[in-house]
Each structure stands twice: as structure tokens, then as C-alpha cells.
Amino acid sequence: MKLVNKKLVNIKKLKISDPLKIKLLKKNKKINYHAKVQELIKDYKVVAIIPAYNEASRIHIVLNSVCNYPFIYEVVVVDDGSTDNTFEVVQNLAQTCNKIKLIKQPHNQGKASAMLKGFENVKDSDIVIFLDADLKQLPHEYLDKLLYYILDGEYDMTILDRLSDRQSPFGIFALARFFGGERALWAKDFKKIDFKHTQGYEIESTINLWYLKNNKRVRTIFAPKLHSAWQFKKWGTLKALKRYLDMFLRIYKKYGVRNFYLQVIEFDDETLEELYSWYKKHKDKKLLGNIARAILTAGVVVGTVGVMFWALGYDLIKNSREKIKK
């Protein structure tokens, strides 16, 4: 049974040729992303690049996931001058995972430098997946979705929209989903981006701006099971606040208000997929385009608040269940 225009419709009783049945079946059909990637991957080579700085206690989680993921043929880990034993931990893991290539920077040079160093050491790749080293888990279903949407040709870059980012201050303004460290893109596009004067966490901003300016299609994928370590737990309160403030100022300086807004309306949000599809159909029309823009903007604001409350509730319920089990 399905509610359509306030009436209950029994899908089974509709004729197979009925447009309504076809539409409902398509909408209700779940995509097997893993099978689709297996079908589309062909001879494409996928490499994962993981920048890491003092992640000895956490990096094994993401490495175990990518090492066991069949569509990634190489994993490049760049130890960005860690002062803990990150290098030794990865070295040990590399003994059981021959996909891992380990590179050590002589001293800490920041995320941008580590990512670019990793890309320099990729000999042959069609698709690059960038991943942060501090993920608490990385389900393969998200790697499947990252790859599927660019292999299918609908999008040029995909970004995982982490639940933990939605709960951050950036999440209030629907901005957190643009800066996710988990993203997939074509290597040929990455080579064209000018990274001069790009430092640290500015690299995601530089990538996003290039995709905006070149009218490339970008989709963010909501990932409720994806969390990264909070900066406050990693660095302590004062150092974390300084890092957050520095990151925000650098990103704001690079973007400006206009480019923030352009990302909001041009980078598709999976949680508002139908609204974005409707906007794309009408955005080139003068009057209707402006109306569509206004409706989409309002929808994003309302949707963002809704997702934030959902995210907080999701964690609350999950934590409560874990306590009950214990």
C-alpha cells in the first residue's frame, strides 16, 4: 500500500503499464550499490590516499576497511611528521595488507601537503578517494556510494556528509557537508587544480571552488554511521578551539559569502535529493529560476535544522542502547 494524493493505492493491483506503478516501483526500489560498482568499475583503477598526523591509536580502523574493500587496488598513507608511533603502526599493518604504500614526511607540513604528496606517489590511477585517518568506522556501503555516483556519470565528485560534522557549528549553516575529508573524484580532474598558496585544511576549499568554477557536478552523501574523532578529544580544549578558529578563518577568507551560498544551491544534498532535482530543472529560467532558488534555499535551512535534530537524536538513542546492553 502507498499513500498517493491522500489516497491509499495498492501497487499490486495497478497494471504493469500504469505510469503510477512504474513511478512508485522506481522510487521504492533500493539500489544495490556494491553490485552496481562491480558492474561499472571495468578497468578503472581506484587508489585511496590517507594523510595522517599522530593517529597511531585510530588509523587501523580506516586501514582495515580499505584493505578489505575489493575495488581499491592501492592505499597510500602519508605520515605527516607524526610525533607518536603512527608510522610503526602503519608499517605493521602493511605486513598483512600489500595494498599499503607508506610515505613519511620529515616534519609536519599540514593536510594539503600530505594529500598532494600522496597523489605525487600514485603511479597509475583513474579515481582517487581521499580519506581522513581518524574515522571511528568506515562501512563499505559508503565507499560503494562514493564510487557509484561518479562511475555512473551523473556526478564528477562525491563527498561523504558525516554525522559528526552535522553536529558541529558548521552543521548549523549546512556548510559542514562540503568540507568532508572523505571524497571521490577523477584523477584527471585533480591534476588540473592549481594548489598554489593552499595550506592545511584549505585544500577541500580549493577543490570545491575549482569544481564550482568549472560547472562540475558534485553530490554530498549523508553518512549517519560515519564519525571522526572530535578535535577537543585529540588536542585538548584550548588547542582545539585555536585549530577550529584558524580553519574557519582560512576557509572563509578563501570562499567569501557568495561561494558559500553557491555551494549550498549547486552541490546536491542527498537528504534533499528531490528538491535539488526540481531546482536543476528550473534554474535557467528567469522568474521561475529565482523562485526555485529561493525555495531551495529555504528548504536547505529547514532541512539542515531537521537533520541536525535527527543527528542528535540518533546519537542519543544509540548511546542509550549501548548503555543498556552493558
Q: Which residues of 170-197 are buried (b: 16+ CB within 10 A; e: fewer)?
A: bbeebbbbbbbbbbbbbbebbeebebee
- Domains of the chain, earliest start first: 1-30 (no CATH), 33-247 (3.90.550.10)
Judge whether 228 and 220 are in contact, CB under 8 Å. no
Q: Where are the alpha helices (DSSP H) in the chain?
A: 19-28, 33-40, 59-67, 86-94, 111-120, 140-151, 163-166, 187-190, 203-213, 231-235, 237-266, 273-282, 286-325
Tell me the C-alpha distance between 238 and 236, whole Å: 6
User: Which pLDDT value is given to residue 131?
Assistant: 97
Per-residue pLDDT of the chain (326 residues; tens, 9 = 90+): 444 444 444 544 545 555 554 544 455 468 899 999 999 999 899 999 999 999 999 999 999 999 999 999 999 999 999 999 999 999 999 999 999 999 999 999 999 999 999 999 998 899 999 999 999 999 999 999 999 999 999 999 999 998 777 766 555 555 678 888 999 999 999 999 999 888 877 899 899 999 999 999 999 999 988 887 655 566 666 766 676 677 677 766 766 778 888 888 899 999 888 999 999 999 889 898 899 989 988 888 787 777 767 666 766 666 677 667 66
